[in-house]
Structure 1
Amino acid sequence: MGFWSGLKAIVVSVAAFLGLTSNEACFGGLGCFSNKAPFDNAGGYLPQAPADIKVEFLLYTPQNRAVPQVISADAAVLRACHLSSIRKSVFIIHGYRDNPYASWVTDMKDALLSQTDVNVVSVDWGRGADQSDYDQAAANTRVVGALIAQLLTALRDFRSLNYKDVHLVGHSLGAHIAGYAGERLDPAGLSFEADPEEVRLDPGDALFVDVIHTDAQPLISLGRVWLIYKCKFCCMRGFREGIACDHSRAQDYFTESITSTCRFTASWCLNYDAFKRGDCPCGKSPCVSMGFYARANATRGKYFLDTADKSPFCLTRNSL
């Protein structure tokens, strides 16, 4: 965050604290959003209105793999679309300053459609994510999550969608959007780390919460956390480049896990030092698959694995 944007965030926070700015924004059927604690994590910013964020839901199915149908919570739109309630439905949610046509989103969508009979919904919140102030984008995630929950409720009501067949895949701020969506139906560390569970992705947001961390230190404690250290060293050619590569490499791992015959097998371990010493081999410790084929019926905790420094990333020695 630059000096001026940082100063602006401080001014907004102080103004909110002193009651000089509105501490609540209400948007019709979505309800009201406050910037009071614990939702003061985004520099005091309130989310923008849905009309400003302009979220679109782009539906891809085996009937329309290349050109999406734009769907909404409108009953007539949902009844006319290609979505099938007997298929699994995967929502792909991009992060800060990203968009639904980024190569990683397209690659993940194509991998899913090539591998299984599935509905894929790419969530376009690019207008809300493309903010000069990260905190404003972080605040907007709450509205995006609410809109996803609204759509899922409509799909349940009008297309008999079962929530257990829904998989929300979010990167960076998209992971927290997934958390907000899941929380309403009952996943980035910046602006969320160490905050109360109401404002971040947590184990109570879904039947199964699964996180892939590719930058050395876990930021939040969840049902299962994948820790992959190899990428930390293969990407770190410069500070800014290293951070970006670490942060985005999870996208590549998840996409490869969809189609690869090699399973990203990780072992449960207390910490990385124990993993490096070989204290947690499969058989002695629980081992499970990372990525698309991760399942909820496994021991909760931190799982570790190594990867290659370029595609294919999965190492056969780590395969089940």
Structure 2
Amino acid sequence: MIMRDDEIQSKCYGELGCVDYTDQWYHSLHRPVNFFPLERHLIAVKFWVHTRSKPRSNLTLQVDDPGSVTRAGMDAQKDTKFIIHGFLDTGTDDWVQEMVQRLLDAGDMNVIAVDWRFGALPMYQQAMANTQLVAMETAHLIRWLQSSHGLNVSRVHIIGHSLGAQTAGYVGAGVPGLGRVTGLDPAEPGFQHMSPVVRLDPGDARFVDVIHSDARSFITSGLGMLQPCGHLDFYPNGGREQPGCGSYSDTISVFMESSVDDFEAELFACRHMRAVRFFTDSIGEGTSCSFIGHECGSYEQFLEVRCR
């Protein structure tokens, strides 16, 4: 644990590089304390590869093992999407698998689920720190694929939810020229109002788009950022409240229609997970869900429900 009053401190993780805590990483209110990430073998990041020929494979990529690329059926000349989960989630959760399948249905590409489940466990402050090492592992893999297999990083798209969205930003910072980062309700605690070095920001990729779905303050049980952090930030339904989240009848309805994993996510983080649903439902042409927009002259008109 590192406090602001200490000298600049650093911890290195072999070929991945070092984590350095400068003044930018501290704020008396928003981030008074920093932890170093856990050791690599404890977080044990895995990269599950999914392709159209092997959509449900249990194969992973390993840096410096070209055979792992061949076995997984990955073609580095195609578009590549990475999905990064957040706090208390895994890379094999139902929502990740559904997003993988929707992406593969929409195009012939590589989809890689970044699984850092052992680093995403309580407590939150340690998981928050672990995101840096997860990003370093992911960036290291991308750079290796670039140098050894000709991966075009401008065709790489990182999709992250919650802490995974902040992780995606760190990946982009470590891979110059990265094509796109999509942040799905980026985590607020420890990130909002911090320096762009600490959080997701437009400098992390050629294009950064963000969906904010639970942008209430953390002290009022919100989990996502209100602060804009992309080239394009969406605030569906205002970004703070979401239809279908909160009431008893809504909870029962979700229980009847969802798997156990989805129900737990909806019950405890309904608004926070809604960004995932918005993004997943937007993938591909001819989706069953159409998003309807209404033009508003001002935010005040939106609050008064006076949009056209």
Cα deviation 1:92-112 (Å, max 9, x = unaligned): 100001001111101111111
Once the two structures are TM-superposed, the CA of residue 115 in structure 1 deviates from its matched residue by 2.3
Aligned to 2:210: 211
**Structure 1 CA distance for aligned equivalents of residues 162 and 125 of structure 2:** 13
SS at match of 2:281: helix
SS at match of 1:70: coil
Q: Please say which of residues 268-277 and 72-81 is displaced more in the overlay.
A: 268-277
Question: Pairwise mapping of residues 308-319 of structure 1 onto structure 2 (< 5 A)?
Answer: none
Query: Are 1:87 and 2:78 matched, yes or no?
Result: yes
CA distance 1:72–1:268, shift in 2 (3 Å): farther
**Structure 2 CA distance for aligned equivalents of residues 279 and 87 of structure 1:** 45
Q: What amino acid is the match of 1:194?
A: H
Preserved CA contact (<8 Å) 1:58 1:122: yes
SS at match of 1:199: coil
Once the two structures are TM-superposed, the CA of residue 268 in structure 1 deviates from its matched residue by 7.7
CA distance 1:270–1:183, shift in 2 (3 Å): farther
Aligned to 1:295: none
Preserved CA contact (<8 Å) 1:59 1:83: yes
**Which of 42, 45, 49 is 1:52 aligned to?**
42
Preserved CA contact (<8 Å) 2:200 2:229: no
Cα deviation 1:124-170 (Å, max 9, x = unaligned): 0001111x221111111111111111111111112211112111100
TM-score, normalised relative to structure 1: 0.75
Preserved CA contact (<8 Å) 1:45 1:135: yes
Aligned to 2:258: none
Aligned to 1:246: 271
Question: Pairwise mapping of residues 151-162 of structure 1 onto structure 2 (< 5 A)?
Answer: 151-162=141-152
Query: Are 1:32 and 2:32 matched, yes or no?
Result: no
Query: Are 1:184 and 2:174 matched, yes or no?
Result: yes
Once the two structures are TM-superposed, the CA of residue 119 in structure 1 deviates from its matched residue by 0.7
CA distance 1:83–1:269, shift in 2 (3 Å): farther
**Structure 1 CA distance for aligned equivalents of residues 23 and 17 of structure 2:** 17
**Structure 2 CA distance for aligned equivalents of residues 136 and 121 of structure 1:** 24
CA RMSD of aligned residues (A): 2.7
Number of matched pairs: 265
**Structure 2 CA distance for aligned equivalents of residues 202 and 212 of structure 1:** 13
CA distance 1:39–1:83, shift in 2 (3 Å): same
Unaligned runs of 5+ in 2: 177-182, 217-225, 249-264
Cα deviation 1:209-267 (Å, max 9, x = unaligned): 000001245234321111012753431238x9777111011111111111415553557
CA distance 1:271–1:140, shift in 2 (3 Å): farther
**Structure 1 CA distance for aligned equivalents of residues 228 and 32 of structure 2:** 17
**Structure 1 CA distance for aligned equivalents of residues 129 and 32 of structure 2:** 6
Once the two structures are TM-superposed, the CA of residue 89 in structure 1 deviates from its matched residue by 0.9
Question: Pairwise mapping of residues 26-175 of structure 1 onto structure 2 (< 5 A)?
Answer: 26-40=12-26, 41=31, 43-80=33-70, 81-130=72-121, 132-175=122-165
Aligned to 1:272: 299
Q: What amino acid is the match of 1:236?
A: G
SS at match of 1:58: strand
**Structure 2 CA distance for aligned equivalents of residues 270 and 125 of structure 1:** 43
SS at match of 2:144: helix
Preserved CA contact (<8 Å) 2:2 2:35: yes
Unaligned runs of 5+ in 1: 1-11, 282-320
Aligned to 1:193: 192
CA distance 1:267–1:194, shift in 2 (3 Å): farther
Question: Pairwise mapping of residues 219-234 of structure 1 onto structure 2 (< 5 A)?
Answer: 219-229=227-237, 231-234=241-244
